[in-house]
Structure 1
Amino acid sequence: MDHVAAILLAAGKGTRMKSGLVKVLHPAAGQPLIDYPVAAARTVGAKPVVLVAGHQAEAVQGHYRGAEDIRCVLQKEQLGTGHAVACAREALAGFDGTVLILCGDTPLLRAETLERLIGFHQAQGATVTVLTAALDDPYGYGRIVRDGSGAVLRIVEQKDADPEEQEIREINSGIYCMDAAFLFGNIDSVGSDNAQKEFYLTDLVAVAVQKGLTCLALESDDPEEIMGVNDRSQLAEAARILRRRFNRELMLSGVTIIDPDQTYIDRGVVIGPDTVIHPNCHIGGKTIIGSGCTIDNGVTISGCRIADGCHIKSGSVLEDSELHEAVAVGPMAHLRPGTVLHAHVKIGNFVETKKIVMGEGSKASHLTYLGDAEIGRDVNIGCGTITCNYDGVNKHRTVIGDRAFIGSDVQLVAPVTVGRNSLVAAGTTVTNDVPPDSLAISRVPQVNKDGWRLKKK
């Protein structure tokens, strides 16, 4: 395959999205729309990839800041696809090869399809090749007009098509391969004599035909791939299709997904074989889940690393946390960012953690808050325990040594240390360090007043 560069058109605002966010940055299955065609272009070896940005250009360019293979150019006025491609000419100065032209709102496009398109284009020695699809309802799309041999004569936009042309079912996807010399040598000849008064890239087909050059079309095997996202309904549909693809890949790799249509797993999530995912789970943020895990229904996981053999019970929420082997969490637990749970830790129902490290075999079984804490091995945290880690200005740490036993309804007022093998009695408020092997108890003396209730009557 000859050298390939890509131009990705991402300048439009996306008015039908009715949003303050430019269309190509709207997320679908965990990633902005634009990430999908960029990834496909990278997979087929396109370098560089030139992003043509317009509306919210700084945000679009900033999304790829630091990417060496991405070049960003600005289309100050959105005057059509031909004008957008012309804006990329300087960024590809001196490039000699095939230019792949993509749209920033086509997240369903597969790299395999692009590879087939490029291979066909180069093998046939074509000047222009357009990716097409046959639709039962082609309304709104440009139609492909071919001659008797199957070569492309022209592409007619919906608003410019006559009744006969509107009956054509083969439509233009907006995805092309073009010879670089032809593209940039003729892009200035594109006019705006059409209903929209815009510079259509499709007019280059007519230019090539007039010059006697080869213009071809390759029909996609799956019309779904060329679907563009223009509104929130189409965004939801694209996300549904993407999730269906991801879930299928996971299941083929050995993951059990009880109900794929009711399981929401984002692109980039890695899950090991023999893990079981129950319905209504949301898993994203480049989470990695090991083998042999069970994720019960209604769990939300984002940005976590979960080792083999873990059990995440119903209704739990895990954010930016790390779980070692055979950890049990939930039901209805909340692991906030910075939580690290070592092997065989148990976090029970209605337990919340934040910025803690919990040693192997330790457990907090119910109704507890643990924040900004370092907890050793084989520690028992009783029901209703809280680390009072915030004084209104600063966060302070609590340290609990190995094999300590923290009774129910204990308040640990940080900064404080509980030594190894110590016992803190139920109902104690700990404000001073507890030495190792000690008992800490702090309670208001109980007073019983005999007959008090009878007197009140």
Structure 2
Amino acid sequence: MILAAGLGTRMRSTLPKAMHRLGGRPMIAHLIATAETVFDRIVVVVGPGMEALAALCAPHATVVQQERLGTGHAARMAQDLFGEGDVAVLYADNPLITAVTMRALLDARQGAELALVAMRPADPGRYGRVVTEGDRVLRVVEWKDATSEERAIDLCNAGVICAGADALRGWLGDVRAENVQGEYYLTDVVALAAAKGTVRFVEAPEAELAGINSRAELARAEAALQDRLRGEAMEAGVTLVAPETVFLCADTVIEPDVVIEPNVVFGPGVTLRSHVTIRAFSHLEGCEVRGGAIIGPYARLRPGTLCAENTHVGNFVELKAVTLGEGAKANHLTYLGDAAIGPRTNVGAGTITCNYDGVFKHRTTIGADAFIGSDSIFVAPVTVGDGALVAAGSVITEAVPAEAAAFGRGRQVNKEGRAKILRDSLLARKEKR
């Protein structure tokens, strides 16, 4: 069960807290993806008016907590869907909890009435404290209700618990709103479980358990996630020249022997095959780059782009919905949108595909082994055949046959002596000012 009904008031946002993004995906999506690797079934508790959040959780079941009366009340909303076996309660604002910790929680539950996850944060702050006796948990006390002695405890509650379905239903029915907030605390089931038998805890790192309730905490979680993603990439055989300057998405796929230079940003949906080099200050999203390709510096690859083997995309080149054929090059100052570029074709500096007519998008198709001169403009839809040559400065509005040379520019006219006449006239005007 994932509790995700929080409004995120401290976020100062109209979005539900669970929809704020980390590593290019909503917080709830991180947690669901991890939980899917551990649990048989997932139920998400959302708040009223959170249809968009419920849609993000599909195909998993959702229930609505109409009144926000605390975490214990939220858990009650889902109790009819507990089924049999063990039930774990997770929180949407703890999206970085790992599958390792989830499995450790399930293991700790064996032979105990209840198991919970705890941590020792550098600054315990206002976290609830876990009161123990040896390795057994006696109760969890919320910071607002804690005594000064209890606040001195450094073992803090992460909120995550696991118990048998039938027992948890019973304890949830016994929870009372007898506290400073007048809410039903899920943490109260810990004392109820301890009164019946053994409660154990699993300790996990703060980095995967710290709650996210504000923009500042969201930024800290992003930093922690980026450290994790970078570490996983390097462990898998990826070279990050300056790891702290590379920003990855949770779904970024990078194969071994890829080299990524400083200040590179990945949006969602990027796949890099082995032996790719991404040079500095490039931005990639929704694209695939295949072996031997060199991208950047200062390149932008947008969704729908495929750079085949041994392609080159250079500085200040933008590709959107482009297929760049094997060995093709676009090395300087170019925009290619909604286009297919054939193998080994060279695209000169300043080339533009005019793909949008104000209403519809249109495609440009350029064949293999073509040569596109600098400052060429293609007014789509248009086709250039294999082996064709387009002269620099051309505006291409009609098909260019294979092996043809296209000159789509005005004829040059030289006016002898006119440069000096024009220059002298301008200088004379300047002196009169």
Tell me the TM-score normalised to structure 2 length.
0.92
1:267–1:284 contact (8 Å) kept in structure 2: no
Query: Counterpart of 2:323 in structure 1: which amino acid?
Result: V
Q: CA deviation at 1:339?
A: 0.4
Pairing 1:385–2:376 present: yes
Figure out how many residues of one structure are paired with residues of the other and give that number: 415
Unaligned runs of 5+ in 1: 1-6, 390-396, 430-442
1:140 corresponds, among 123, 126, 130, to 126
1:343 corresponds, among 302, 326, 336, to 326
2:144 matched residue in structure 1: 159
2:5 matched residue in structure 1: 11
1:376 corresponds, among 367, 373, 388, to 367
Q: Secondary structure at the match of 2:123?
A: coil
Q: CA deviation at 1:453?
A: 5.8
Q: CA deviation at 1:108?
A: 2.0
Unaligned runs of 5+ in 2: 356-362, 426-433
Distance in 2 between the 1:349 and 1:55 partners?
Answer: 52
Pick closer, same or farther for the CA change 1:87–1:267 going to 2, 3 Å.
Answer: same
Q: CA deviation at 1:444?
A: 4.8
Task: Give deviations 1:286-337, integer Å, cap 9, x for gaps.
Answer: 211111111111000001111100001211110120011000001110011x
1:420 corresponds, among 393, 402, 412, to 402
Distance in 1 between the 2:379 and 2:419 partners?
Answer: 36
1:255 matched residue in structure 2: 238
Q: CA deviation at 1:217?
A: 1.7
Residue range with higher mean Cα deviation, 364-373 or 351-360: 364-373
2:428 matched residue in structure 1: none
- Structural mapping, 1:284-433, within 5 Å: 284-320=267-303, 321-336=305-320, 338-370=321-353, 371=355, 372-389=363-380, 397-413=381-397, 416-425=398-407, 428-429=408-409
Pairing 1:79–2:69 present: yes
Pick closer, same or farther for the CA change 1:142–1:401 going to 2, 3 Å.
Answer: same
Q: Secondary structure at the match of 2:256?
A: coil
Task: Give deviations 1:334-361, integer Å, cap 9, x for gaps.
Answer: 011x200110000121110111111101
CA RMSD, 1 decimal: 1.7
Distance in 1 between the 2:419 and 2:152 partners?
Answer: 93
2:135 corresponds, among 138, 146, 150, to 150
2:102 matched residue in structure 1: 114
Distance in 2 between the 1:384 and 1:61 partners?
Answer: 49
1:434 matched residue in structure 2: none
Pairing 1:448–2:415 present: yes
Q: Secondary structure at the match of 1:99?
A: strand
2:430 matched residue in structure 1: none
Query: Counterpart of 1:191 in structure 2: which amino acid?
Result: R
Task: Give deviations 1:133-173, integer Å, cap 9, x for gaps.
Answer: 123421211111123x4322211100000111111111110
Pairing 1:60–2:58 present: no
Query: Counterpart of 1:62 in structure 2: which amino acid?
Result: A
Pairing 1:237–2:225 present: no
Q: Secondary structure at the match of 1:353?
A: strand
Q: CA deviation at 1:401?
A: 0.3
Q: CA deviation at 1:89?
A: 1.4
Q: CA deviation at 1:56?
A: 4.4
2:197 matched residue in structure 1: 213
Q: CA deviation at 1:450?
A: 6.0
2:168 matched residue in structure 1: 183
Tell me the TM-score normalised to structure 1 length.
0.87
Query: Counterpart of 1:263 in structure 2: which amino acid?
Result: V
Q: CA deviation at 1:185?
A: 2.2
Distance in 2 between the 1:84 and 1:217 partners?
Answer: 22
Identity of aligned residues (%): 32
Distance in 1 between the 2:50 and 2:419 partners?
Answer: 75
